[in-house]
């Protein structure tokens, strides 16, 4: 198997072929700085307001809305929402096409677009406005704005208890209303379509016993996950003997008009428990979630007696779990379950799960702690990977069989590996083109996978799950170590920080004119993908990312429109990429997968967030935004937003 590496280069210089530590290097092209010779595409534009490090940015088409920071905009701050104080976060807007900037003038806590219609979550107290005209300013409300209707308009009161107040997919959003629901099949959820931006539609449910007041937790691929609170509804919702469970799972199809809310009837441990909704076809998803044994009536859901004889791993015989403290992986096939939940019920896999759920090739996977030594009770204190201890977080997976067919996890100890909880959001387990990808901690797994005589690296492996036992693949014409790993929305590529130390060669050595460094402490940006022959390749650029273990993990890598974006630390790369006479900047680069070119796109920031923001639900976003630090622009900083200082974080943007 082949690892593809793109040689980094001095700006505007061609890059020679590179062959390092047995990895086949492939030339992707040259790199350049700035926008010289380009069309309007990728030209960076500045906006006029300062932002906070945690500012929310929402994009749709050429529309960009974000939260400006009053306190740092202008000398002494600027009152942007007219409440006579300068301490708010206020919604502002720019049209990336026309470059028109507008102060919306509303103190907002969250922003969501559907088409060209913007919806804001607003605290009346912070905005100092009685939006719903009830003579007090104590509500959380939904407010609408658009270029076509530039006067912000009150929409509805929002339920303060909902984890997420509003989520959106395509032309439709759903929010949790504060208006009480009454009667059978009623809910407090409301939807709005972009074609009628002020028309509110009530979401019904399939519950004929009474009304429901869900808390929205997240939206994934058009499926909305909610939790139902038995203490709020004062009745049993998950079929156990009490009415004290606060996180009973509910599901709503946001892709389909007038779709009802469905109660799964199983309780999770919290509103933030891991879930996965993989879109399959119209009104159908493969759904994974973790059920709390304690909340589900103190039932031992991983008792081997509940499953076929071959369900339990041979290395765990006699070590069956007997407690009711775990969270157990369940799944359902949405369309079949909705059509007939009796013959197509939600299935208990019996696998203890934490942190992450992945679905690939009809199989579902999770991360299983072996025992309480990892902080969460596991599968009967069993040494699942047979490494001599019971302290690991290991990968487990099983086929998502249809109907009520037997659940049969893959159980071979040699194939159950201890994972590295690598930064980037995957927790060490990811999906890529219907395969599972993991990062294995050699030390925790007690294995010398790369046969170097040590057990010190965190190595990347992959597997196409099937009904037969197949080994994880770690050999890619060389071994790859990962310090950071992230999935894309469609799971068709990955972002991965490849470690120099595994190959024993400095990959960012630079050129004679710009020598880079000669240490083995860096990680370079790669964007793994399986080629048509099923080979896992690692296209990348030999530039040092903003990663310096054990404290700095800030590469911000994202992928959109066939481009990989990432944050480079000049100090780690030992290069003055911005040509300002110092090596203390964070520089944003982009690499084209098709053209094989790498460009500097702007000065970034030191904040641990994506290097650019874009519409992740669009296959072809029109524009992107990013935060830049004025202090890093030039040798002494630059007043980018024209407010009289050089100390701000400023949102900049470009069109693709």
Give dist(CA 189, CA 216) in Å, integer. 9
> What number is the average pLDDT over the span 279-296?
97
Chain segment 88-100, per-residue pLDDT in tens = 999 999 999 999 9
Q: Is the per-residue pLDDT at 2 higher than 50?
A: no
> What number is the average pLDDT over the span 582-602?
94
Q: Is the per-residue pLDDT at 9 higher than 80?
A: no
Q: Is the per-residue pLDDT at 544 higher than 60?
A: yes
Angle at 402 between CA 398 and CA 408, to 5 degrees: 30
* pLDDT score for 12: 30
CA 265 to centroid of chain Cα atoms? 27
* pLDDT score for 434: 98
What are the C-alpha distances in Å from 583 to residues 289, 477, 569, 574, 604? 46, 34, 8, 7, 13
Nearest to residue 249, comparing CAs of 185, 322, 314, 330? 330
3-state secondary structure of 615: coil
Give dist(CA 405, CA 331) in Å, integer. 13
The CA-to-CA distance between both ends of the chain, in Å, stands at 33
In sequence order, which residues have a C-beta less than 8 Å from that of residue 468 and are 6 or more positions away?
Answer: none
pTM: 0.94
> 3-class secondary structure for 127-185?
HCCCCCCCCCCCCEEEEEECCCCCCCEEEEEECCCCCECEEEECCEEEEEECCCCCCCC
292 with 262: CB under 8 angstroms? no
Q: Is the per-residue pLDDT at 30 higher than 90?
A: no
* pLDDT score for 372: 66
Q: Residue 595, class by beta-carbon neighbours within 10 Å (0-12 exposed, 13-18 middle, 19+ buried)?
A: exposed
Which uninterrupted H or E stretch holds 330?
strand 327-333
Chain segment 463-484, per-residue pLDDT in tens = 999 999 899 999 998 999 999 9
* pLDDT score for 381: 80
497 with 522: CB under 8 angstroms? no
* pLDDT score for 15: 30
Counting Cα atoms < 13 Å in the Cβ hemisphere of 60 gives 20
Residue 19's pLDDT band (boundaries 50, 70, 90)?
very low
Chain segment 397-456, per-residue pLDDT in tens = 999 999 999 999 999 999 999 999 999 999 999 999 999 999 999 999 999 999 999 999
Alpha carbon dihedral 246, 250, 252, 258, in 10-degree steps, equals -90
Chain segment 594-644, per-residue pLDDT in tens = 998 999 999 999 999 999 999 999 999 999 999 999 999 988 999 999 999
Chain segment 110-149, per-residue pLDDT in tens = 999 999 999 999 999 999 999 999 999 999 999 999 999 9
Give dist(CA 107, CA 125) in Å, integer. 10
* pLDDT score for 13: 28
Give dist(CA 152, CA 154) in Å, integer. 7
> What number is the average pLDDT over the span 335-346?
97
Residue 373's pLDDT band (boundaries 50, 70, 90)?
low
Q: Residue 340, class by beta-carbon neighbours within 10 Å (0-12 exposed, 13-18 middle, 19+ buried)?
A: exposed
3-state secondary structure of 415: helix
DSSP H helices, 204-333, are 230-233
Give dist(CA 620, CA 616) in Å, integer. 9
In sequence order, which residues have a C-beta less than 8 Å from that of residue 516 and are 6 or more positions away?
Answer: 8, 506, 508, 509, 510, 544, 573, 574, 575
Give dist(CA 577, CA 508) in Å, integer. 13
Query: In whole angstroms, how large is the CA radius of gyration of the chain?
Result: 26
284 with 334: CB under 8 angstroms? yes
Give dist(CA 38, CA 459) in Å, integer. 39
Give dist(CA 103, CA 110) in Å, integer. 16
Give dist(CA 653, CA 656) in Å, integer. 10
Q: Which two tokens stand for residue 517?
A: 């460094």
Give dist(CA 410, CA 390) in Å, integer. 19
Strand pairing of 598-603 and 586-592? antiparallel
Chain segment 33-83, per-residue pLDDT in tens = 444 445 789 999 999 999 999 999 999 999 999 999 999 999 999 999 999
> What number is the average pLDDT over the span 104-115?
98
Nearest to residue 350, comparing CAs of 319, 404, 312? 312
Which uninterrupted H or E stretch holds 526?
strand 523-526
How does DSSP classify residue 495? Answer: E
* pLDDT score for 38: 52
Chain segment 481-520, per-residue pLDDT in tens = 999 999 999 999 999 999 999 999 999 987 777 778 889 9
Burial 468-484 (b: 16+ CB within 10 A, else e): eeeebbbebebbbbbbb
Beta carbons within 10 angstroms of residue 25's beta carbon: 20
For residue 381, which phi and psi values (nearest 5 degrees)?
A: 50, 45
Q: Which two tokens stand for residue 297?
A: 């009536």
163 with 169: CB under 8 angstroms? no
Chain segment 204-226, per-residue pLDDT in tens = 999 999 999 999 999 999 999 99
* pLDDT score for 40: 86
* Mean pLDDT rounded to a whole number for the chain: 92
Q: Is the per-residue pLDDT at 521 higher than 50?
A: yes
Burial 52-74 (b: 16+ CB within 10 A, else e): beebbbbbbbbbbbbbbbbebbb
């Amino acid at each position: 198997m082949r690892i593809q590496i793109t040689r980094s280069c001095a700006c505007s210089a061609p890059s020679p072929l590179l062959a390092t530590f047995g990895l086949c290097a492939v030339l992707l092209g040259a790199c350049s700085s700035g926008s010289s010779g380009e069309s309007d595409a990728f030209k960076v534009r500045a906006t006029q307001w300062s932002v906070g490090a945690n500012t929310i940015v929402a994009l749709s088409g050429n529309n960009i809305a974000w939260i400006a920071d009053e306190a740092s905009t202008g000398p002494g701050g600027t009152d942007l929402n007219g409440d006579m104080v300068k301490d708010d976060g206020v919604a502002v807007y720019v049209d990336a096409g026309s470059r028109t900037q507008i102060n919306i003038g509303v103190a907002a806590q969250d922003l969501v677009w559907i088409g060209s219609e913007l919806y804001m979550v607003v605290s009346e107290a912070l905005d100092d406005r009685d939006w719903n005209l009830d003579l007090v300013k104590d509500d959380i409300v939904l407010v609408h704005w658009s270029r076509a209707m530039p006067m912000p308009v009150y929409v509805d009161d929002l339920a303060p208890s909902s984890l997420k107040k509003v989520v959106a997919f395509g032309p439709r959003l759903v929010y949790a209303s504060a208006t009480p629901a009454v009667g059978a099949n009623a809910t407090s959820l409301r939807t709005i379509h972009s074609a009628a931006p002020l028309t509110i539609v009530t979401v019904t449910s399939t519950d004929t016993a009474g009304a429901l007041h869900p808390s929205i937790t997240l939206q994934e691929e058009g499926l909305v996950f909610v939790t139902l609170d038995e203490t709020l509804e004062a009745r049993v919702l998950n079929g156990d003997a009490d009415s004290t469970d606060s996180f009973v799972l509910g599901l709503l199809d946001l892709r389909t008009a007038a779709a009802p809310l469905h109660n799964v009837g199983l309780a999770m441990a919290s509103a933030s428990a891991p879930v996965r909704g993989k879109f399959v076809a119209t009104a159908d998803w493969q759904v994974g979630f973790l059920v709390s044994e304690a909340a589900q009536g103190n039932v031992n859901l991983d008792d081997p007696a509940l499953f076929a004889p071959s369900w339990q791993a041979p290395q765990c015989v006699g070590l069956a779990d007997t407690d009711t403290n775990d969270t157990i992986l369940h799944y359902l096939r949405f369309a079949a379950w909705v059509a007939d939940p009796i013959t197509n019920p939600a299935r208990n896999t019996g696998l203890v799960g934490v942190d992450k759920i992945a679905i690939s090739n009809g199989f579902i996977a999770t991360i299983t702690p072996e025992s309480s030594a990892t902080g969460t009770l596991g599968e009967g204190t069993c040494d699942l990977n047979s490494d001599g201890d019971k302290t690991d977080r290991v990968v487990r997976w099983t086929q998502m069989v249809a109907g009520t067919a037997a659940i049969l996890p893959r159980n071979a100890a040699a194939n159950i590996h201890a994972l590295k909880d690598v930064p980037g959001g995957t927790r060490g387990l990811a999906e890529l083109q219907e395969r599972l990808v993991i990062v294995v901690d050699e030390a925790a797994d007690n294995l010398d996978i790369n046969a170097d005589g040590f057990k010190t690296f965190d190595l990347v492996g992959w597997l196409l799950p099937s009904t037969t036992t197949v080994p994880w693949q770690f050999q890619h014409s060389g071994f790859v170590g990962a310090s950071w790993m992230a999935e894309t929305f469609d799971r068709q590529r990955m972002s991965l920080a490849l470690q120099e130390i595994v190959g024993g060669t400095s990959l960012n050595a630079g050129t004679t004119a710009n020598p880079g460094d000669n240490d083995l402490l860096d990680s370079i940006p790669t964007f793994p993908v399986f080629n048509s022959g099923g080979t896992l390749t690692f296209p990348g650029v030999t530039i040092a990312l903003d990663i310096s273990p054990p404290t700095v993990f800030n590469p911000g890598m994202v992928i959109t429109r066939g481009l990989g974006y990432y944050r480079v630390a000049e100090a780690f790369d030992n290069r003055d990429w911005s040509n300002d006479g110092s090596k203390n900047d964070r520089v944003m680069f982009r690499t084209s997968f098709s053209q094989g070119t790498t460009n500097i796109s702007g000065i970034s920031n030191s904040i641990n967030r994506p290097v650019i923001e874009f519409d992740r639900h669009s296959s072809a976003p029109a524009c992107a935004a990013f935060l830049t630090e004025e202090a890093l622009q030039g040798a002494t900083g630059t007043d980018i937003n024209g407010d009289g200082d050089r100390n701000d974080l400023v949102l900049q943007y470009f069109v693709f």
